[in-house]
Amino acid sequence: METVALSSKGQFVLPKTIRDRHHWNTGTEFIVIDRGDAVLLKPVKPFPETSFEPPGTRSVYSGPPLSFDDMDQAVAIEAGRHR
């Protein structure tokens, strides 16, 4: 367990080992939650949480059905573009 000291301006520095482990860089924003006997810092997520459509929802894809091999090939092609 590591400790930090609060400055006269109400600031403290998170230990580098913790920042590195969580990939928190300069400018990372946090939500501060007061739990009474503890304070919880949670990073603000850069993207909103997503959810799946409920079963029975119509697909946005309107072409012919694709096989798993076709889908795997499409993913491999797209992944190759992002390397």
Average of pLDDT values for 3-12? 94
pLDDT of res. 69: 94
Composition of the chain by helix, strand, coil, percent to 5: 25, 10, 65
Query: What pLDDT is recorded for position 15?
Result: 94
Output the pTM of the full model.
Answer: 0.51
- pLDDT at residue 28 tops 70: yes
Q: Which tens digit of pLDDT belongs to each residue from 44-56?
A: 987 777 888 888 8
Closest CA to 43 of 17, 64, 25: 25
Supply the Cα-derived Rg of the chain in whole angstroms.
22
pLDDT confidence of residue 83: 62
Fold of 1-46: Pemi-like Protein 1; Chain: D (2.10.260)
